Chain A
Amino acid sequence: MATGVVERVDLAALTDRLQEEWHTPRTLYGWFATVDHKEIGKRYLVTAFLFLLFGGLEAAAMRTQLARPESRLFSPEAYDQLFSMHGTTMMFWYASPVLSGFSNYLVPLLIGSRDMAFPRMNAFAYWAFLLSGLFVYASFLGGAAPHGGWFAYVPYTSVQYSPGLNMDFYALALLFLTISTTGGAVNFIVTIFKLRCPGMSVSRMPLMLWSTLTASVSMIFALPALTAALIFLELDRRFGTHFYEPTLGGSALLWQHLFWVFGHPWVYIVILPATGMASMMIPTFCRRPIVGHTYVALATVSTGIIGFGVWAHHMFATGMPELSATFFSAASMAVSIPSGMQVLAWLGTIWSARRHVFATPMLFMLGFIVLFVIGGISGVMTASVPFDLQATDSYFVVAHLHYVLVGINLFPALAAFYFWMPKMTGRMLSERLGKWNFWVLFTGVNLAFFPMHVAGLRGMPRRVYTYPAHMGWDGLNMVETIGAYVTVVGVLLFIINVVLSLRSGRRATSNPWGASSLEWSVSSPPPEYNFAVLPTVSGRDPLWEEYDSLSRPAAEHARNPAPTRIPASSELPDWRVLADGRETLDSTILDADPQGVLRLPSETLWPLGLALALTALFSALLFRSPVWTIAGTVATLAAVVGWLWPTQEFWT
């Protein structure tokens, strides 16, 4: 039925038209109403980084207290709030959102699309993330910050032992954040399923898409357990129910089960997308496709799945049947198999590199592999029940979790900043300062966290606000504190580098690192419409096809002859570009065959309005105001209706 009508328009006119369709006005309205995934991604990154600084300052304060024995800089209550807010901030408002930031910015570019599947939900997810973070930090104003640790065990957090607003801030802020995270996860899944450009079948998906997809699906099934735990907690605290009250049929262990059914998948949610970014960066600096692409993708997915079967290894010390303990111990050790596969693939890629490029992102990648292996080994140790019974709640566990989270989240995130910031800002970061940044941070992190293994094995419990002298912990703690300060200097070097780059960094070309994926095919920063002509890919490494036979084995060439390339020309056929409004391609899930044209919405204030209505609702719940609770509910529903009401050009 193809009519074969080919109109020809010149490229300048085409890009002008697209620019007009996709332009977000540079006004106050445009700033609050934008739905551009690139703008939202950048906001996620900046906001998550600010929360990293908050959490880092809290850590620095704790390390200052712990530098010397018998220190009384902070009271026990203040110290409780510091470590609880440190953990809560880092786990919920930094580690996951920073990865969402990169995914938000990169996923549509990686798949050759013009935006996410649900641009307004994307904007809403950001506003709700920001406002829920402000909500939990508002607790400091009342001196009532959460003080039950990031996993908030009952009965300590039940109303008898924690009567203030502290844990209500925690529970309500997390419920609020959960809404944002769920929305974001749905958006990533549908975008990766349905918006891939023609030719990008499942087998050709870049590994970052696999890891983002795995983390998002995990969120869908993990977050409800947290939601249930928090709902039960708030009902117990506020409405006199007895979920966690053993004398009336409840159980304190119910909280632990629900929390960790969520909590352990969450650990993989905050590291898997980072490993996906590693699988994009390492091959670039080794000038070859990754070793074992398929196996890395499978390892990513299996890590996500096994992650749901290991939660009780956080609870060995609660006493459980030997059979259960054995099962969870074995499952926890099994996770090291897919993790090991990924490490082997990275090492194999580095081993068989055509050329080693030791740019700053690659240095961070090497540091990441070292820290990952150390954290992985202490993880296998604590997965063993007899060892765990000795090490649990000691500084050994603190050392393990920081090696894992700093190693597999912070280091890849910083590498990704060095790698993708030129794409986002159009300016390179300083390589010289970057190398200082890496070595100072790597030294600081190891000084801060390695001695914690020893302190833990010498019996130092976690979460103590101070400790007596002559326990054999004094010197170790001093070294850890010095390491923490060096880490702070490392982070400051990064901030200086970013500021200098924004002011006077070298201009970035469209593909400064010579990478292979689609985001590098457009200018730095990309135009608002991403791609003037929606791309079609015929391999895993589209930008390497012209000079790299490795990326497309000869067999595939024969089976699937390379498409005819258009010559460098200012003329492009009109029918290929989708420029009648904000449009992108909708394709099939497995083969990415084009199926339809998706119309996307333009700027709107409803996402911000809905996030504000929810802020009002959660504040009303916090202060137990029935009137405002009803008003907040009505406002929330009204915002949803306003959002969903179809405008004339956009209605189905």
Chain B
Amino acid sequence: MAVANTGILDMSAAITGAGHDARGRPDAPREILSGPLSDSLSGPRSTGWWGMVWFAATEATLFACFIASYFFLLGDQENFGADGGQPISLIRPLIMTLLLLTSSATMWWGESGIKRGEVGRLRIGLAVTFALGTIFLLLQAGEYASSPIGPGTNAYGSLFFTITGFHGAHVALGLLMNLFVQLRARLGHFTATRHDAVTNISLYWHVVDGVWIAIFASLYLSPRLW
């Protein structure tokens, strides 16, 4: 073993370790030469964060395909839209947009709290975000109930309900993640250096909000352009 490996080992880069606590985790950061080598990476340095980035990328691409399908079918069809091509009222969707944007801000506020070790601020941020997301879903349900068309009326209806419905499902999933992290925060799992789960669900939430902006621009705003 050692003989086979000899040719490729480089012993000049030293990783120094120190003692360990009862759980077997090192109680002091490890070091390589001059820089510290930690076992609690978060943000862009952690594997979990990168995993969420690519997961979010593929989800965003799904919505890009949905929206591209909308514009493909829109093509040059007359009367493609709700109620014979009449644009939908913007009041409710604007309120929904504001709610989601605010919820991104509160999520960020909570996350920046735990970066300083303030679990209380994290929990308040999560709770407010949860409430805003829930109101968003309720408003969306109200929008569905008052819609003159359904998913089976025509291809526009199919697209409208599929796109907004799948987005709603993503919001709901974000709320479940929120609950999960809220529970873990309550159990005291997070510290200033260990809160990967918070960073990751926060990233997911921002992406879902960003997707809503694209949906809002495509389904609600763009019909007013022509």
Interface residues of A (CB under 8 A from B): 1-6, 11, 15, 117-118, 121, 182, 185-187, 189-190, 193-195, 198-199, 220-221, 223-225, 227-228, 231-232, 235-236, 239-243, 245, 248-251, 254, 257-258, 261, 510-511, 518, 521-523, 531-533, 535-538, 542-543, 545-546, 563-570, 572-576, 578, 580-581, 583, 586, 593-599, 637, 641, 644, 646, 648-649, 651-652
Q: Would you list the 8 A-B pairs with minimal beta carbon distance, nearest first?
A: A536-B10, A249-B155, A241-B158, A224-B62, A563-B10, A228-B65, A250-B155, A224-B61
Residue of B nearest to A117 (CB): B47
In the complex, what residues of A have CB within 8 A of residue B166's CB?
A: 231
B178 → chain A closest CB, angstroms: 13
Q: Known contacts being A186-B54, A241-B162, A533-B9, is A221 close to B47, with CB within 8 Å?
A: no
Bound form: Cα–Cα A586–B196 in Å? 15
Whether the pair B57, A536 counts as a contact (CB closer than 8 A) is no
A318 to B178, CA, bound (A): 47
Give the docked Cα–Cα distance between A34 and B69 (Å): 41
Instruction: Assess the A518–B8 pair: CB atoms within 8 A.
Output: yes
Contact B65 A261 (CB under 8 A): yes
Tell whether, in the assembled complex, residue A232 and residue B24 are in contact, meaning their CB atoms are under 8 Å apart. Answer: no
State whether A2 touches B33 (Cβ < 8 A).
yes
Q: Does B38 contact A (CB under 8 A)?
A: yes
B50 touches A189 (CB 8 A): yes
Chain B 30-49 near chain A by CB (<8 Å), digits 1 or 0: 11111111111110011110
CA distance A198 to B39 in the complex (A): 17
Distance (whole angstroms) from the CB of A114 to the closest CB of chain B:
13
Query: A-facing mask of B3-34, CB < 8 A → 1, else 0?
Result: 11111111111111110100111100011111
Query: Given A249-B80, A596-B41, A3–B5 Cβ distance below 8 Å?
Result: no
Which residues of the partner chain A approach B16 to less than 8 Å between Cβ atoms?
2-5, 575
**Chain A residues, CB < 8 A from B9:** 533, 535-536, 565-566
Q: Bound complex: CA of A566 vs CA of B40, how far in Å? A: 31
Does chain A have a CB within 8 A of B98? Answer: no
Chain B: number of interface residues, binned into ranges:
35 or more
Q: Cβ of B197: which chain A residues have Cβ within 8 Å of it?
A: 644, 652
Q: Does B156 contact A (CB under 8 A)?
A: yes
Q: How far is the CA of A153 from the CA of B59 in the complex (A)?
A: 24
A542 to B151 Cα, complex, angstroms: 60
Task: Decide if A249 touches B156 in the complex (CB within 8 Å).
Answer: yes
Mask, B59-76, CB within 8 Å of A = 1, is 101101110010011000
Q: Are A532 and B1 in contact (CB under 8 A)?
A: yes
A152 and B59 CA atoms in complex are apart in Å by: 24
- Chain A hits for B152, CB < 8 A: 239-242
Task: Assess whether B47 is in contact with A182, with CB atoms less than 8 Å apart.
Answer: no
A236 to chain B, nearest CB (A): 8
Q: How far is the CB of B191 from chain A (nearest CB, A)?
A: 9
Contact of A190 (CB < 8 Å), options: B2, B51, B57 = B51
18 additional contacts (CB under 8 A) given A220-B61, A224-B65, A254-B72: A186-B55, A189-B54, A194-B47, A220-B57, A224-B62, A231-B162, A241-B157, A242-B157, A261-B65, A533-B5, A537-B8, A537-B10, A563-B10, A573-B14, A593-B32, A595-B41, A597-B30, A649-B24
Instruction: Report the minimum CB–CB distance from B223 to chain A (whole Å).
Output: 14
Closest Cβ neighbor of B161 among chain A residues: A241
Q: Is B176 an interface residue (CB 8 A)?
A: yes
Nearest CB in chain A to that of B28: its residue: A3
List B residues at the A interface (Cβ < 8 Å). Answer: 1-18, 20, 23-26, 30-42, 45-48, 50-51, 54-55, 57-59, 61-62, 64-66, 69, 72-73, 77, 80, 151-159, 161-162, 166, 176, 180, 184, 189, 194-197
In the assembled complex, how far is the CB of residue A512 from the closest CB belonging to chain B, in whole angstroms? Answer: 12
Measured between beta carbons, the chain B residues less than 8 angstroms from A6 are 14
Asked if B38 contacts A597 (CB within 8 A), the reply is: yes
Query: CB distance A11 to B39 under 8 Å?
Result: no
Q: With the chains together, A566 CA to B7 CA distance in Å?
A: 8
CA A533 to CA B5, docked complex, whole Å: 9
CA distance A250 to B35 in the complex (A): 59
Most B CB within 10 A of own CB, among A182, A538, A572, A575: A575
Within the assembled complex, what's the spacing in Å between the Cα atoms of A112 and B26? 23
Roughly how many angstroms separate A342 CA and B45 CA in the complex, as a whole number?
34
Complex CA gap A598/B41 in Å reads 8
B residues in contact with A5, CB < 8 Å: 16, 18
Q: Compute how far the CA of A574 lies from the CA of B17 in the bound complex, rounded to whole angstroms.
A: 9
Instruction: Provide the residues of chain B in CB contact with A546, threshold 8 Å.
Output: 7
The answer for the CA separation of A198 and B93 in the assembled complex, in Å, is 51
- Whole-angstrom CA separation of A221 from B189 in the bound complex: 34
Q: Which of A2, A195, A241, A257 contacts B72 (CB 8 A)?
A: A257
Report chain A residues within 8 Å CB of B158: 232, 235-236, 241-243, 250
Q: Which of B41, B48, B58, B196 contacts A182 (CB 8 A)?
A: B58
A/B interface sample: 24 pairs, CB < 8 A: A1-B36, A118-B47, A186-B58, A189-B50, A241-B152, A241-B155, A242-B155, A248-B155, A249-B73, A249-B77, A251-B155, A536-B9, A536-B13, A543-B7, A543-B8, A563-B12, A564-B11, A564-B12, A576-B15, A580-B26, A586-B47, A597-B38, A648-B23, A651-B194
A644 (CB) vs chain B CBs: closest residue: B180
| Most B Cβ at <10 Å: residue of A221, A576, A597, A641 | A597
User: In whole angstroms, how far apart are the Cα atoms of A522 and B9 in the complex?
Assistant: 12
**Chain A residue contacts of B26, Cβ below 8 A:** 580, 597
Contact of A580 among B20, B36, B62 (CB under 8 A): B20
Q: Which residue of B lies closest to A249 (CB)?
A: B155
A2 cross-chain contacts in B, Cβ below 8 A? 14, 16, 31, 33-34
Q: Which residues of A contact B1 (CB under 8 A)?
A: 11, 15, 522-523, 532
> A220 touching B54 by the CB < 8 A rule?
yes
Q: Shortest CB–CB separation between residue B21 and chain A, in angstroms?
A: 11
Cα-based distance from A239 to B159 in the complex (angstroms): 13
Instruction: Report B-chain residues with C-beta under 8 Å of the C-beta of A199.
Output: 10
B66 CB contacts on chain A under 8 angstroms: 228
List the A residue with the shortest CB-CB distance to B72: A254
Residue of B nearest to A182 (CB): B58
Q: Within the assembled complex, what's the spacing in Å between the Cα atoms of A563 and B157? A: 66
Q: Which residues of B contact A224 (CB under 8 A)?
A: 58-59, 61-62, 64-65
A228 contacts B69, CB within 8 Å?
yes
- Specify which chain A residues have a CB less than 8 angstroms from the CB of B48 in the assembled complex: 652
Please give the distance in Å from B220's CB to the nearest CB on chain A: 19
Check A117–B15 contact: CB distance below 8 A. Answer: no
Given A190-B54, A228-B62 in contact, is the A594-B32 Cβ separation under 8 Å?
yes
| Bound Cα distance from A325 to B204, whole angstroms | 39
Q: What is the bound-complex CA distance between A186 and B51, given in angstroms?
A: 6
Asked whether A586 and B155 contact (CB < 8 A) given A194-B47, A518-B8, A569-B2, the answer is no
Residues in B whose Cβ lies below 8 Å from that of A533: 5, 9
